[in-house]
Every structure is written in structure tokens, then in C-alpha cells.
Amino acid sequence: MTDDTEPQQFPLPAILTYPSSKTPELITQGAEGRLYKTTYLLPSVPCALKYRPPKPWRHPVLDARLTRHRILSEARVLVKCRREGVAVPAVYAVDEAAGWLALEWVAGAPVRVGVNEWLRRRRDSERAAGRGGDAVVTGDAPGDADLVALMRRIAGALGRMHKVGIVHGDLTTSNMMLRPWGEGRERPANGHAGGQGDGLLEGEIVLIDFGLAGQSTSDEDRAVDLYVLERAFASTHPRAEALFSTVLESAYREAFKQAPIVLKKLEEVRMRGRKRSMLG
């Protein structure tokens, strides 16, 4: 038998030797949960803690089961993506009974923020040059190369995710981050677009928020993923809607073998969407 004062017989795993984390900072409060910025193991390692609090309006047993299920499902999908080389945050720890998931903190801003700021600046400079700044972005203006390059990187990231058998289920420009290049994450050789480049749209696409994701290789599911993003893009960044659809198609097509079939499905899904909106 050993007593407490004796040195450890075996070296302790690191998790048992580090000091505890700092006070969490609330980043977002969504319908389903809260996202805190905190640290993991070391005060210098930032961490995103996704917490799903109990819902008092749901039956407690059902609520606990749903929360457990969703957290485990999100963790499982993230681990799979990471293992297969899709850029997503690492899973540090998970406590599905307590309702939280500790993830690698992704530096940078959501794509939505970068795109909105970029569009705002573009409009301002168009106006300053005496042109109407609210025209549709066609991708032909000299500075538009950066936006087209970003859209291509988004399509590439989705293609890689779909290729490994994951569908996201909630693709929006808020659910993808633009992580600055660096530390083993080099800008791809053809990654520099040669646009006016204020760096707003620079960075690696990191997909996040896999709470509604699942394993699927169905072309219909993949097409719905693309359609959801297309609609989200249209409502968040209407001036770049048409450009997005065009670039998405051409870049996604190159991402994996099955892609042309998915894009054919996408046509059908769009058609259904149009019919539905006509019926009102």
C-alpha cells in the first residue's frame, strides 16, 4: 500500500497534473445551447465549451436523453471528420450526462463576419468611385477574386466532408470559421486569389457546429446540405447569391467522384424549393 505522501509509482497522465481553467466567457447564447470560451488543462490552451442546459419545458427524462444523444452524436461526427482529415475543431473532452462538449478553440472569425465586412467595404469603395454600390457581385471586378477564392475553399471543404460520409445538416456562413493561415496550415499554392486583398477573406475554412450532422452517403442528403447553404448565403449575403451558386457548383464538382450526381440532385432540390415557395 502507498500513502499520500509517497511519490507516485507511475507517472500521472497530464490531465491529472494541470491547474484548472480560467473563468469561462459567454460567446453565444443560442436556442439549443451556450458557447463559452474557456481553457483546457492549461491556462494557455483556449477551448470552446458547448453546453446544452436542461430545458425546463421538456420532460426531464426525455430531455436528458435527447441532450446525451445530441452531444455524443456531435462528438462522434467531429472525431470522424478529424480522423479523415476534414478541418474541424478537435474534441478535447465530452461529458454527455452533464451536457457539455469541450472543443479546440478555432482562431479567426465566422465566414459570415468576413463576407459581410468585405461586401460593406466593396460597396463603400464603389460609391466613392461614383458607381452604385448595391449592384450584384458578379465576380468580374478586379477585387472580386478574393471572394471567388473563398467560395471555392468553402466548396472544397464541403466536398471533403461529404466524401468521408458526413452531412452537416445546418450549413450557414456562421457555422464555418476562417482560421488564419500558419503553423502547419499553409495557404494552398493556388490559394492566393490576387484580389485587392485586405486579408478579410483569407484563411482556412474550418467547419463547426455539427449538432445536426450525421453519417450519410446519400446524394439527396448531400444535395440538401448544399441547398441549405445556398439559401442561407442568399439571405445573409444577397448581393453575392448568384455568384455563390455558380462557384459552388464548379468547385464542388472537382471535390470528389460522386459530386456531379449530387449537383444533379441539387437541381431537383432547388426545383422543389421553388415550387414550394410558389405555393406560398
Ligand X SMILES: Nc1ncnc2c1ncn2[C@@H]1O[C@H](COP(=O)(O)OP(=O)(O)O)[C@@H](O)[C@H]1O
| Residues 188-217 close enough to bind Mg ion by CB under 5 A | 209
Report in angstroms how near the CB of residue 208 gets to ligand X at its nearest: 5
Smallest distance, Å, CB 28 to ligand X? Answer: 4
**38 or 175, CB closer to Mg ion?**
175
Q: Is 146 a catalytic residue?
A: no
The answer to whether 67 contacts Mg ion (rule: CB under 5 A) is: no
Amino acid type, 151: M
Find, among 161, 182, 189, 175, the residue nearest to 87 by Cα. 161
String marking each residue 143-182 x if it binds Mg ion according to CB under 5 A: --------------------------------x-------
Residue keyed to cell 503553423: 183
Least distance between ligand X and beta carbon 195 (Å): 25
Chain residues in the site for ligand X (CB under 6 A): 27-28, 30, 32-33, 35, 48, 50, 89, 103-106, 110, 174-175, 208-209, 211
Q: Which distant-in-sequence residues (6+ apart) come within 8 Å of 209 by Cβ?
A: 170, 174, 175
For 61-111, give the secondary structure using H, E and C: HHHHHHHHHHHHHHHHHHHHHHHCCCCCCCEEEEECCCCEEEEECCCCEEH
The answer to whether 65 touches 183, Cβ cutoff 8 Å, is: no
Q: What grid cell was written down for 140?
A: 468580374
Among candidate residues 95, 170, 198, 209, the one labeled active-site is 170
Residue nearest to ligand X (CB): 30
Q: How far is the CB of 11 from ligand X (least distance, A)?
A: 30
The one of Mg ion, ligand X, none whose footprint includes residue 211, by CB under 5 to 8 A per kind, is: ligand X
Residue 28 pairs in a beta bridge with: 35
Other beta carbons within 10 Å of 48: 20
Residue number closest to Mg ion, CB atom: 209
Q: Which residues belong to the active site?
A: 170
